[in-house]
Structure 1
Amino acid sequence: FQTLLCINPPLFEVYQTLLSPTHHHVALIGTKGLMVLELPKRWGKNSEFEGGKSTVNCSTIPVAERFFTSSTSLTLKHAAWYPSDTLEPHIVLLTSDNTVRFYSLKVPQTPVKVIALSDTEEETLTIKKGRAYTASLGETAVAFDFGPPVPVPKNALGQRGREEVLAHPLYILYENGETFLTYVSLLQSTGNLGKLLGPLPMHPAAEDNYGYDACAVLCLPCVPNILVIATESGMLYHCVVLDGEEDDEQSEKSWDPRSDLIPSLYVFECVELELALKLASGDEEEPLESDFSCPIKLHRDPKCPSRYHCTHEAGVHSVGLTWLNKLHEFLKSDEEDKDSLQELGAEQKCFVEHILCTKPLPCRQPAPIRGFWIVSDILGPTMICITNSYECITRPLLSTVHPAFPALLCTKDDQDAAVSPLRILAESEHSFERHIRSILQRSSANPFLLKSANKDAAPPPEECLQLLSRATQVFREEYILKQDLAKEEIQQRVKLLWEQKKKQLEDLNYYREERKSLREMAERLADKYEEAKEKQEDIMNRMKKVLRSFHSQLPVLSDNEKDMRKELQAIHDQLQHLSNAIRQVKMKKEYQQKKMEKGTSPRKPSITLSAYQSKCIQTVLKEEGEHIREMVKQINDIRNHVNF
């Protein structure tokens, strides 16, 4: 290993170290100040600091040193790095005066932004030990955490305009359990920040507001945001951050462009951690109720977003949220009743794994976890813990969220295998495999116990016996008894399956006989079908002959006959036309005769014709007469031809 020495060491006691998002700086956090250590460059074969030197001097940057020196009663409640890999490093401090300050490492003595969480007049009213009245009532902020960036309008950041910008939601937790929200963006104007929204309403409502000893908050990187609120008594509340619904009071303020809907926290489930081991008391073998409580720190898992870890003075717990996928499916649906989230939470619970216990006995002094980190390894992710005695403990972790029961032999991850109906049935909601999993599910386990470094401080035999009894009881109740129950269920299932197999074999023999008889019947029907087919073909041939002879005797006209019929039809039409013409000629003849009779009257003609005119009229009449004779001759010829 390598030792990193501070050129300018901190004057305060360091109780926590925090690595920056870019992995270039380490924050040394204490109650009376904060100092940032710059990590040296890496090079060499194994990529070690300064090429592998055993001791490396590192420069440090004191943050807000004058501020903490001048304010003796001021303490640092919480510190975190601003979540950005592109900007220059910024660190955020929450102090006991209910103020959040943003510091840049370039200007570490002057805050870049300041968020006042309470009125200054109220904070000036102090009581004993320099604490404010609000602190005695639990109305002071104790922790905060950033959520993933979301698009928010500029007016939510205190700026003009309706355009949307990316900002990080900052969730601020108070000791009385209330949560406030504001949006922060260091890329925008540094003069003003978004207004403080809250307290965020929590559903379903509780009389104690889900505890008065809140100590930590964590925002999991998922959509919607999942807030984890921890209390010193060991309670964890998983809250879903959902958009608030507009009510009458907010609708009256809708004219204000800065009035936004306050999100709501829906408490999805509550989890109680076993901070201290519950040991049996004497011969009663009933676990003693421990009143041990301590602050809890929450850590994200960089390898698994649906899992986080809890460190405290008594050890380490790992919590996995197995219901995130169902929650996303529920939110994508058209369900409008958000209260049904409680019903969804009752279907599938998260699992809690007690990984490390540093206070296995009541007489043992707790060994607080001072350092915690998860690193990648060839064999998988590994958890590294450092206690207050500088003892390093490593424990392997799975890369995914796993339930608190062992894997079954029937569970296979072969994605290329063909999907069978039986496999689909086995993966159904009420399958026998799920039933066995529910039986084998463990509610508690035996964590890794930290041995005391002081050999003289050995626990008395009575407490060692209690610890052994507790471990034996856990193995008996959570392992052996549940495995016996699973064994009985499997034996009953096997017996039932044997009976079903016997019945299915009998049915199989019966169906084989039925198939044999059906096959014989099918052969007989096939022979009859062939005979019927041959007879049908004979009948069809006879019908074809009859139809052929019938069609041959039909009076069908030939082409010449068809032409003759067309010609006769045309002649008939001409006769009609000529008869009309003869009728007109006769009418003209009668008309001329009447005129001629009138012309023989003794009256003198009123018009006298000349010799030339008379000659022309005679010529025309002669031509018309010849034309009439020709037409009469044609008509007579046609009549003779038709009559023939």
Structure 2
Amino acid sequence: MILELPKRWGKNSEFEGGKSTVNCSTTPVAERFFTSSTSLTLKHAAWYPSEMLDPHIVLLTSDNVIRIYSLREPQTPTKVIVLSEAEEESLILSKGRAYTASLGETAVAFDFGPLSAVPKNIFGQKGKDEVLAYPLYILYENGETFLTYVSLLHSPGSVGKLLGPLPMHPAAEDNYGYDACAVLCLPCVPNILVIATESGMLYHCVVLEGEEEDDQTSEKSWDSRADLIPSLYVFECVELELALKLASGEDEPFDSDFSCPIRLHRDEEDKDSLQELATEQKCFVEHILCTKPLPCRQPAPTRGFWIVPDIPGPTMVCITSNYECVVRPLLSSEKDTAPPPEECLQLISRATQVFREQYILKQDLAKEEIQRRVKLLRDQKKKQLEDLSYCREERKSLREMAERLADKYEEAKEKQEDIMTRMKKVLHSFHSQLPVLSDSERDMKKELQLIPDQLRHLGNAIKQVTMKKDYQQRKMEKVLSPQKRTITLSAYQRKCIQSILKEE
């Protein structure tokens, strides 16, 4: 069942502006399938990580099948991933449990990794191109991890071949436990898998490409898809204390077979700490809520638990077995029933042990480190004071030396100026008494020798200009005062004129 919460608005950003009762829409997923198959149970559910498609939910059921449903068609699966062989499905016990489940060969959890590029042949397609798909890590109860690739964007219905089991290094006799219950993939490069067991063990594994000398890869070297099978390298193991344990020798040992399923959640806000995995810092565990302080106490399982990010700080929301919602980190117990003295003694012993091992011991180590640092700082201070006094003496001597050098410099400067003045006088008198002309004097002589020739040429030019001036003046006078011309006729002209006059 998918529950869709209404929108928030208003001053305090409450549902539907702060109404006391709000209506929520629900979407049943695979309702007919689970109604008709009463023997099946839901093992794990998660959202498909793509943000470009419609919301899809991925369901893992007890029949070793992963089904992907779209909220547009919640009754028909978009993809079906079968994790077991067909003939094994018919081997069902009287209580509805398969033989594979009895041997721990059933999937119990899965998680998606970040989007990556894989070749097309992993989906059974031809070509050397690559497509984007999400790696799906599937955890079995016996501790084995399988891998497949899922892509809903390019070709709906295309699911990669199931690869695995992924080899784990270094090898362990118990294969790192036979009661695996949860897996989580941290989005970093390379991917980091966190595998949890019901006994309270967390294994941090780095997903790397398989080595060539690996037996599994060498046997399947003929298969091109065998190179895609990565390996898991366990670099850290964390043990969760599911119940309080007393120090050895304080009380009789109790049955340590207590186990419980574990749910893993990634911190969406803290992504920078993944970069610190390269350092040698170890993982630390903090108990937030304890519902079974002693093994002899009755179990008080939590119905729901979540950490809500808030502006003042993260807020813990817990629903206890009696359906009481706790939203504050309170240290409380039932007021009606007081614990017996034996349990009080066990709690006090355990608290004393924790303070002695995890607080007082660390404080002693911190005290020794502080004392060592104080001694080192005192020695450094003493050495620095000695250096400071030495520097002061050196500064005093340098000042005196600088004053002496300044006086010598002034005297040397005055002497140098006197010597320069005397040198100038000597050079001037020396040049004046030399029989040979200097370069400037020779240049001046050449210029003086050229002056008469230049004067002669200038005199000729002046005469020519004067003559031209006189000639121009005469021409101008003739133009301004012209003489009357006399007309003279020839004998023939006179004879013609006379004949014309006679005729008239």
Q: TM-score range by the shorter chain?
A: 0.7 to 0.9
Amino acid at match of 1:263: P
Matches within 5 A, 1:152-163: 152-163=118-129
Q: Which amino acid aligns with 1:353?
A: E
C-alpha displacement of 1:241: 1.8
Match of 2:239 among 251, 261, 272: 272
Cα deviation, residue 260, structure 1: 4.6
What is aligned with 2:229?
Answer: 262
| Superposed displacement of residue 142, structure 1 | 0.8
Q: Are residues 1:468 and 2:348 paired?
A: yes
Q: Relative to 1, partners in 2 of residues 1:53 and 1:511: Cα closer, same or farther, differing over 3 Å?
A: closer
The answer on whether the counterparts of 1:358 and 1:450 sit within 8 Å (CA) in structure 2 is no
Question: 287, 292, 310: which one pairs with 1:359?
Answer: 292
Amino acid corresponding to residue 215 of structure 1 in structure 2: C
Q: Is the 8 A contact 2:27 2:71 kept in 1?
A: yes
Conserved? CA contact 2:210–2:217, under 8 Å: no
Equivalent of 1:305, from 271, 275, 297? 271
CA distance in 2, matches of 1:279, 1:155: 56
Residues 562 and 243 (structure 1), Cα distance of their counterparts in 2 relative to 1, 3 Å cut: farther
1:363 positional shift: 2.1
The reply to whether residue 451 of structure 1 matches residue 333 of structure 2 is yes
User: 2: CA distance between counterparts of 1:238 and 1:548?
Assistant: 96
TM-score by length of 1: 0.62
**1:379-434 Cα deviation digits (max 9, x unpaired):** 122222222322223357xxxxxxxxxxxxxxxxxxxxxxxxxxxxxxxxxxxxxx
8 A contact 1:241–1:266 mirrored in 2: yes
Alpha-carbon separation, structure 2, partners of 1:159 and 1:509: 82
Q: Name the structure 2 match of 1:291.
A: 257
Q: Which amino acid aligns with 2:203?
A: Y
CA distance in 1 between counterparts of 2:328 and 2:118 reads 41
The equivalent residue for 1:537 is: 417
Q: Distance in 1 between matches of 2:269 and 2:19?
A: 30
| Distance in structure 2 (CA, Å) of the matches to 1:252 and 1:470 | 52
User: Could you tell me how far 1:162 is from its partner in structure 2?
Assistant: 4.2
Deviation (angstroms), 1:358: 0.6
List per-residue Cα deviations over 1:488-538 (Å, max 9, x = no partner). Answer: 442443344334434433432333223212211221122122222333333
Q: Cα gap change, 1:72/1:560 in structure 2, threshold over 3 Å: closer, same or farther?
A: closer
Residue type of the alignment partner of 1:325: Q
What residue ranges of structure 2 are gaps of 5+ in the alignment? 448-504
Task: Verify the 8 A CA contact 1:278 1:290 in the aligned structure 2.
Answer: no
Structure 2 residue 70 is matched with structure 1 residue 104: yes
Distance 1:364 1:349 in 2: 32
- Residue 192 of structure 1 aligns with an amino acid whose one-letter code is S
Deviation for aligned residue 1:268: 2.0
Corresponding residue number in structure 2 for 1:350 = 283
| Correspondence list, 1:186-585, <5 A | 186-246=152-212, 260-280=227-247, 284=250, 290-305=256-271, 322=273, 324-327=274-277, 347-394=280-327, 451-452=333-334, 455-456=336-337, 458-547=338-427, 553=434, 556=438, 558-559=442-443
2: CA distance between counterparts of 1:395 and 1:157?
49
For residue 28 of structure 2, give the secondary structure of its aligned residue in structure 1: strand
Q: How does 1:585-624 map to 2 (within 5 A)?
A: none
What secondary structure is seen at the aligned counterpart in 2 of 1:369?
A: coil
**Greater shift after overlay, 351-360 or 149-158?**
149-158
Over aligned residues, Cα RMSD in angstroms? Answer: 3.4
SS in structure 2 at match of 1:63: coil
- Relative distance call for 1:550 and 1:509 in structure 2 (3 A) is same
User: What is the Cα deviation at residue 143 of structure 1?
Assistant: 0.4
SS at match of 1:325: helix
For 1:465 and 1:211, locate their aligned partners in 2 and report how far apart those are by CA, in whole Å.
34
CA contact (8 A) 1:147 1:219 kept: yes
Secondary structure of the corresponding residue to residue 351 of structure 1: coil
Against the structure 1 CA distance between its residues 112 and 293, is the aligned structure 2 distance closer, same or farther, given a 3 Å change threshold? same
Cα displacement (A) at 1:118 = 1.8
Query: Quick one: structure 1 residues 47 and 559, their matched pair in 2 at CA, closer, same or farther if it must change by over 3 Å?
Result: closer
Contact kept, 8 Å, 1:280 with 1:286, in 2: the verdict is no
Opposite residue 538 of structure 1, the aligned amino acid is: D
Cα 1:484–1:204, aligned 2, differ >3 Å: closer, same or farther? closer
Distance 1:562 1:467 in 2: 123
Matches within 5 A, 1:175-186: 175-186=141-152
SS at match of 1:88: coil
Residue type of the alignment partner of 1:468? I
Q: Which residue of 2 aligns with 1:619?
A: none
CA contact (8 A) 2:317 2:326 kept: yes
TM-score norm. by structure 2 comes to 0.77
Unpaired stretches in structure 1, ≥5 consecutive residues: 1-34, 307-321, 331-343, 397-447, 564-644
Alignment partners' CA distance in 2, 1:57 and 1:289: 48
**In structure 2, what is the equivalent of residue 440 of structure 1?**
none
Please tell me whether the aligned partners of residues 250 and 261 of structure 1 are also in contact (alpha carbons under 8 angstroms). Answer: no
CA contact (8 A) 2:143 2:178 kept: yes
How big is each residue's C-alpha offset from its partner over 1:351-389, in whole Å with a ceiling of 9 and x where there is no partner? 211111110122222222332222232312222222232
In the other structure, the counterpart of 1:581 is: none
- Tell whether the 8 Å contact from 2:205 to 2:233 is kept in structure 1 after alignment: yes
Cα distance change, pair 56–539 in 1 and its aligned pair in 2 (3 A): closer
Is contact 1:200–1:263 with CA below 8 Å preserved after alignment? yes
Contact 1:101 1:111 (C-alpha < 8 Å) held by counterparts: yes
The amino acid across from 1:141 in the alignment is A
The answer for the alignment partner of 2:461 in structure 1 is none
Query: How far apart are residue 169 of structure 1 and its match?
Result: 1.4
Query: In structure 2, what is the Cα distance between the partners aligned to 1:74 and 1:270?
Result: 33
Label 1:192 to 1:86 Cα distance change in 2 as closer, same or farther (>3 A): closer
Q: Structure 2: how far apart are the matches of 1:293 and 1:551?
A: 116
Q: After superposition, give the CA deviation of every residue in 1:532-552 in whole Å (9 maximum; x if it has no partner).
A: 233333334444455555566
Structure 1 residues 369 and 160, CA, compared in 2 at 3 Å: closer, same or farther?
Answer: farther
Partner of 1:132: 98
Cα pair distance change 1:541/1:241, threshold 3 Å:
farther
What is the CA distance between 1:231 and its match in structure 2?
0.7
Native 8 Å contact 1:36 1:61 kept in 2: yes
* Matched letter for residue 219 of structure 1: C
Which residue of 2 is the match for residue 341 of structure 1? none
Residue identity (%): 81
Does the 8 Å contact 2:247/2:353 carry over to 1? no
**Equivalent pair of 1:145/1:218 in contact (CA under 8 Å):** yes
Structure 2 distance, partners of 1:514, 1:115, is 84
Contact 1:228–1:237, Cα closer than 8 Å, also in 2: yes
Distance 1:473 1:533, change over 3 A: same
- Whichever residue aligns with residue 232 of structure 2, its letter is L
**Cα distance change of structure 1 residues 255 and 200 upon mapping to structure 2, 3 Å threshold:** closer
Q: CA deviation at 1:206?
A: 2.1
Q: Post-superposition shift, 1:212?
A: 1.4
> Does structure 2 retain, via aligned residues, the 8 Å contact 1:153–1:165?
yes
- Separation (CA, whole Å) in 2 of partners of 1:46 and 1:499: 59
Deviation, structure 1 residue 126? 3.6
Partner of 1:24: none
Give 3-state SS (helix, strand or coil) of 2:312's partner: coil
User: Equivalents in 1 of 2:423, 2:171: separation in Å?
Assistant: 91
Amino acid at match of 2:258: F
Question: CA 1:47/1:561 → structure 2, altered by over 3 Å: closer, same or farther?
Answer: closer
